[in-house]
């Protein structure tokens, strides 16, 4: 009994061992809680409303103790048994409802993006060495990003790969290559990422990963504008296209240089949308330089439709000689030849200035070169030629004499200038034929062959098809006209010649300009030929409907033209074809 009582009254040593463990655990909690305070405004006096301007000197030990006392017991329990916090950058947990503790506001992860590397420096200088300090420094450094400049956990704020790559574009974050872009002294240093560039461009891939890969940390690109290069990077990082009229051509150059066809297409589409008569010549020059045939064709089409306005634009005198020749070769310019010649003279003067030459007629002729031969002086009237080109000094005396003879005499002399009319109409040329049969021997005595016609919709007549000689290859001199029957007004006229090969085919004789034919209005087609007997048409049709897929139907009605007509009628005679556009 006494032994039992002794054992019962014997002091229990086990609770003391538990108390010592609890004391050690409490000490560890307090030590780690102090480490936690290094990451909060309690330790560094960080004002949550303005953390950047609130880092101050370390607090006193009493202030640290007071700060530590405000945290709940449950905060320390967030650590594992080893005493290491789960994450010193997470906010302290709230106390359980049954044991409330008054707490002050502590920073959360939403405050961390505005912290700077100064925060890491404070931790490094104030905390005691140990595993807790190492963990704090590693986690805090990660929060401040690479180089201490990136916002905390920026990746979490981006919902897709495009957003994340866009964020990296033109930043130093993880950049492993730099470019010096532009010509001195306007160079700009631009950071980038080799992997992203290599994925988007075969040129960059070869430059960074190929057998001859560059080892330079800074790559010089003097031939690309900085704004254009940044546009290229933006497209490679995010597929975004941000171009304007001032940068589109330089961006197109950069896209071509680095083989990014998708960006090339976007640039060309932008140019198409913004194409006008004011910039058609400038864009035509660039399209030819960058080998963009589709864009060049659109520029030429715009010039055809608005030739006068395009020639008056400032960009016309800045084009190169090859572009000028490309335009002058066209048959579809919508302008009178004497006005075209005046514009060419303006270009020649500007070219002399660019070459530091006096703008004398001799120098202008020299800079024009073969372009002068592309002016179609025969399409001018004799008055237009006499008042303009003949007095310009650009033509040699013998050329002026031959052209005057071409205007005034028959047979016409051979000249070095084209006499093919320019037709400003686009679309497909169409021909209506009014005879079903061809016969032989139709003679000429100076009287015009004439036939009246009417159409049911507006068209533009550009010439006639005429029969040629039955005696082998011969030359004819011919005058063609279209006259409005009711008023007698001459709507179109041309004096020219044509060669025939002796076959019964028709031969084209064209007007200098398209002749507009209005619907339900009577016109008379006239041709006066000088030459040998020819073929002629028979079994003529009074009504002919011409149909095409692109323009639909056009109905012609032919009637007899009273008066001197050299025998031509609805049933037989000359003028078998009318060449027109709708």
Which residue matches tokens 């016109």?
A: 523
* pLDDT surpassing 50 at residue 92: no
Which region among 50-59, 524-533, 545-554 has the lowest average model confidence (pLDDT)? 50-59
Residue 581: in which H helix or E strand, if any?
strand 577-581
* Candidates 1.10.357.10, 3.40.50.1100, 2.60.120.820, 2.30.30.90; CATH matching 430-581: 2.60.120.820
Sign of CA dihedral 418, 420, 425, 429: negative
Strands (E) in 151-265, as ranges, are 177-181, 188-192, 218-221
Q: Tell me the average pLDDT across 195-215.
A: 91
* pLDDT surpassing 80 at residue 108: no
Q: Tell me the average pLDDT across 315-330.
A: 95
**Of the segments 13-27, 101-115, 309-323, which one has the largest average pLDDT value?**
309-323
pLDDT at 466: 96
pLDDT at 35: 47
- How sure is the predictor about 520, in pLDDT bands with cuts at 50, 70 and 90? very high
Which residue matches tokens 């709940």?
A: 72
Note the maximum CA span of the chain. 166
Provide CB contacts within 8 A for 413, sequence distance 6+.
Answer: 402, 405, 406
For the domain spanning 161-273, the CATH number is 3.30.710.10
Provide CB contacts within 8 A for 459, sequence distance 6+.
Answer: 517, 554, 580, 581, 582
* pLDDT surpassing 60 at residue 86: no
Contact 545, 554 (CB under 8 A): yes
Check residues 69 and 261 and name the one with the higher pLDDT.
261
pLDDT at 448: 95
pLDDT at 145: 47
- How sure is the predictor about 138, in pLDDT bands with cuts at 50, 70 and 90? low
Which residue stretches of 380-477 are H helix? 382-387, 389-392, 397-408
DSSP 8-class letter at 116: -
Q: Tell me the average pLDDT across 94-109.
A: 44
Q: How many angstroms separate the CA atoms of 196 and 252, rounded?
A: 20
Q: How many angstroms separate the CA atoms of 20 and 15, rounded?
A: 9
pLDDT at 22: 56
> How far from 524 is each of 152, 356, 491, 546, 558, CA to CA, in Å?
86, 55, 10, 19, 10
Task: Give me the percent of the chain exceeding a pLDDT of 70.
Answer: 73
In DSSP terms, 548 is beta-bridged to: 552
* pLDDT surpassing 60 at residue 479: yes
Burial-class residue 556 by CB neighbours within 10 Å (0-12, 13-18, 19+): buried
* pLDDT surpassing 60 at residue 286: yes
Q: For the chain, give me the number of helices (H) and strands (E)? A: 22, 15
Which tokens in the block code for residue 231? Answer: 């546009």
Which tokens in the block code for residue 453? Answer: 């016609």
Q: What pTM was estimated for this model as a whole?
A: 0.57
* pLDDT surpassing 80 at residue 90: no
pLDDT at 27: 54
* Candidates 2.60.40, 1.25.40, 1.10.600, 1.10.20; CATH matching 281-408: 1.25.40
pLDDT at 188: 93
Alpha carbon 336 to chain centroid, angstroms = 32
Q: pLDDT by residue (tens digit) across 398-419?
A: 999 999 998 888 777 888 998 8
pLDDT at 33: 55
- Number of Cβ within a 10 Å radius of residue 317: 18
Q: How many angstroms separate the CA atoms of 37 and 31, rounded?
A: 10
In DSSP terms, 523 is beta-bridged to: 453, 484
Average pLDDT, the chain: 80
Contact 48, 63 (CB under 8 A): no
- How sure is the predictor about 424, in pLDDT bands with cuts at 50, 70 and 90? low
198-207: list long-range contacts, CB under 8 Å, 24+ apart: 199/236, 200/235, 200/236, 200/260, 201/236, 201/258, 201/259, 201/260, 202/259, 203/257, 203/258, 203/259, 204/258
Check residues 191 and 428 and name the one with the higher pLDDT.
191
Q: Tell me the average pLDDT across 287-291.
A: 89
Q: Are strands 177-181 and 218-221 parallel, antiparallel or unpaired?
A: parallel
Q: pLDDT by residue (tens digit) across 482-499?
A: 999 999 999 999 988 888
Q: Is residue 126 reached through a cis peptide bond, with omega within 30 degrees of 0 on the bond before it? A: no
pLDDT at 220: 93
Which residue stretches of 316-464 are H helix? 321-328, 337-354, 361-368, 382-387, 389-392, 397-408
> Would you kindly state where each structural domain of the chain is located, as residue ranges?
14-148, 161-273, 281-408, 430-581
* pLDDT surpassing 50 at residue 173: yes
- How sure is the predictor about 225, in pLDDT bands with cuts at 50, 70 and 90? very high
> Does residue 504 sit in helix, strand or coil?
coil
- Number of Cβ within a 10 Å radius of residue 510: 23
Task: Give me the percent of the chain exceeding a pLDDT of 90.
Answer: 55
* pLDDT surpassing 90 at residue 556: yes
Q: Tell me the average pLDDT across 320-336.
A: 92
Q: Tell me the average pLDDT across 357-364.
A: 95
Q: pLDDT by residue (tens digit) across 29-71?
A: 655 554 455 444 444 444 444 434 444 444 444 444 444 444 4
> Does residue 265 sit in helix, strand or coil?
helix
Q: How many angstroms separate the CA atoms of 105 and 99, rounded?
A: 18
Which residue stretches of 87-130 are H helix? 117-126
Helix axes 226-238, 161-168, angle to 10 degrees: 160
Contact 480, 527 (CB under 8 A): yes
pLDDT at 244: 87
* pLDDT surpassing 70 at residue 28: no
Provide CB contacts within 8 A for 102, sequence distance 6+.
Answer: 70
Which tokens in the block code for residue 160? Answer: 């897709």
In DSSP terms, 507 is beta-bridged to: 466
* pLDDT surpassing 60 at residue 74: no
Q: pLDDT by residue (tens digit) across 144-162?
A: 544 445 556 888 888 899 8
Q: Tell me the average pLDDT across 257-263.
A: 94
């Amino acid at each position: 009994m006494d032994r039992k009582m002794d054992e019962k009254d014997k002091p229990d040593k086990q609770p003391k061992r538990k108390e010592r463990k609890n004391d050690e655990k409490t000490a560890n909690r307090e030590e780690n809680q102090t480490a936690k305070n290094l990451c909060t405004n309690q330790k560094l006096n960080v004002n949550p409303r303005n953390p950047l301007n609130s880092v101050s000197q370390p607090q006193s030990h009493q202030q640290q103790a007071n700060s530590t006392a405000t945290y709940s017991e449950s905060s320390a329990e967030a650590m594992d048994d080893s005493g290491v916090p789960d994450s010193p950058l997470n906010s302290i947990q709230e106390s359980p409802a049954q044991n409330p503790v008054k707490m002050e506001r502590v920073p959360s992860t939403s405050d961390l993006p505005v912290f700077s590397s100064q925060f890491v420096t404070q931790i490094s200088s104030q905390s005691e060495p140990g595993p807790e300090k190492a963990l704090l420094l590693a986690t805090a450094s990660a929060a401040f990003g690479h180089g201490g400049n990136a916002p905390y956990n920026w990746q979490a704020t981006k919902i897709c790969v495009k957003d994340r790559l866009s964020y990296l574009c033109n930043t130093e974050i993880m950049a492993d290559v730099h470019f010096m872009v532009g010509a001195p002294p306007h160079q700009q240093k631009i950071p980038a990422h080799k992997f992203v560039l290599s994925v988007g461009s075969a040129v960059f891939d070869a430059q960074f990963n190929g057998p001859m890969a560059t080892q330079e940390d800074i790559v010089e690109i003097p031939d690309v504008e900085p704004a254009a290069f940044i546009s290229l990077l933006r497209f490679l990082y995010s597929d975004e296209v941000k171009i304007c009229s001032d940068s589109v051509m330089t961006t197109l150059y950069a896209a071509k240089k680095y083989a990014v066809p998708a960006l090339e297409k976007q640039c060309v589409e932008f140019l198409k949308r913004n194409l006008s008569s004011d910039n058609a010549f400038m864009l035509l020059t660039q399209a030819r330089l960058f080998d963009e045939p589709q864009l060049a064709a659109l520029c030429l089409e715009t010039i055809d439709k608005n030739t006068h306005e395009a020639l008056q634009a400032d960009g016309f005198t800045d084009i190169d000689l090859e572009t000028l020749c490309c335009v002058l070769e066209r048959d579809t310019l919508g302008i009178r030849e004497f006005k075209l010649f005046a514009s060419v003279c303006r270009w020649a003067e500007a070219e002399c200035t660019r070459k530091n030459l006096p703008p004398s007629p001799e120098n202008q002729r020299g800079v024009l070169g073969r372009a002068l031969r592309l002016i179609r002086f025969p399409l001018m009237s004799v008055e237009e030629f006499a008042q303009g080109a003949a007095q310009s000094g650009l033509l040699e005396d013998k050329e002026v004499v031959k052209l005057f003879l071409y205007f005034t005499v028959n047979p016409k002399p051979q000249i070095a200038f084209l006499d093919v009319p320019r037709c400003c109409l686009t679309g497909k040329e169409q021909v209506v034929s009014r005879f079903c049969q061809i016969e032989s021997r139709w003679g000429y005595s100076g009287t015009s062959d004439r036939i009246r016609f009417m159409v049911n919709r507006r068209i533009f007549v550009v010439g006639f098809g005429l029969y040629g000689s039955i005696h082998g290859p011969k030359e004819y001199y011919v005058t063609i006209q279209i006259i409005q029957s009711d008023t007698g007004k001459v709507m179109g006229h041309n004096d020219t010649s044509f060669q025939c090969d002796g076959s019964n085919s028709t031969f084209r004789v064209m007007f200098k300009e398209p002749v507009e034919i209005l619907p339900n209005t009577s016109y008379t087609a006239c041709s006066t030929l000088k030459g040998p007997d020819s073929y002629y048409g028979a079994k003529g049709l009074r009504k002919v409907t011409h149909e095409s897929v692109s323009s639909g139907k056009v109905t012609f009605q032919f009637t007899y033209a009273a008066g001197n007509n050299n025998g031509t009628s609805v049933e037989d005679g000359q003028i078998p074809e009318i060449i027109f556009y709708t």
